[in-house]
Amino acid sequence: MESNDGEIDRLERGLLVEHEESEEEPVIYTASFEEREENFVKYQTVRWVLYSLLLLLAWGIGLIMLIYLPIRRYILRKDIRSRKLYLTPNAIVYKVTRPVPFPCFGDLKKEKYVLLPSVADIVVEQGYLQSLCGVYSIRIENVGVRRSPRDDLQIQGIADALDFRKMSPSRSIKHDSLSHSGDAAVLQKLEEVGSSVKRVQNLIEEHHLQTSELAA
């Protein structure tokens, strides 16, 4: 695996130099996001509201999150409308411009270049909440034992996820079926927050009970 990683590193350096020297590479395929804008905003809104309601019961922070929701939706729309994902002969390129949490302070620009020799697989995901809202996401997995899963590029709201996967060459095709783990982390966090809310409520009830006993 170390020799493979070394080969990949050399290829990456060479391809990056070629990319810097060339003005622009030809685009083989361009992904689309426009058709899924409403679905994407709906999905993110549902997640935001669920978190807000749980935090509202716990510490009241959820009220601030609910008030912030219109700004959040504005940011989401600006985000998905600015997204560009395309395939070149040497790389998968992803570009996005999103407003900062307070849009009056400007935008954040992100550009990600994933060189094709370093792509292990492109996984199409659709979790439970995503399926309800009609949203797909893709995860571009990296080759090599030295690379952390956090380095994988994950993109939500792509309209033609399956077509993009077919057009993108990868070193191994692990499976053709959809991965339904996209919302596993979300559901786990919701369960953790729910457990925290129950613990806080139990502590409050015990405190009230002890206060009542002392008063009696």
> How much is the pLDDT for 54?
86
Q: What is the pLDDT of residues 168-208, one digit of tens each?
A: 875 444 434 454 444 555 555 556 655 655 665 565 556 55
Ramachandran angles phi, psi of 154, nearest 5°: -120, 130
* Structure-block tokens of residue 158: 């792509």
Q: Say which DSSP state 144 is in.
A: S
What is the pLDDT at residue 184? 55
Closest by CA position to 65, among listed 101, 106, 97: 101
- Domain 2-215 in this protein, CATH class: mainly beta
What is the C-alpha to C-alpha distance for residues 124 and 167, in angstroms, rounded to an integer?
13
Q: How many CA atoms lie within 13 A of 137 on its CB side?
A: 24
* pLDDT value, residue 174: 43
Q: What is the pLDDT of residues 30-79, one digit of tens each?
A: 999 999 999 999 999 999 999 998 888 777 788 899 999 999 999 999 99
The reported pTM is 0.69
Rounded distance between C-alpha atoms, residue 152 and residue 119, angstroms: 9
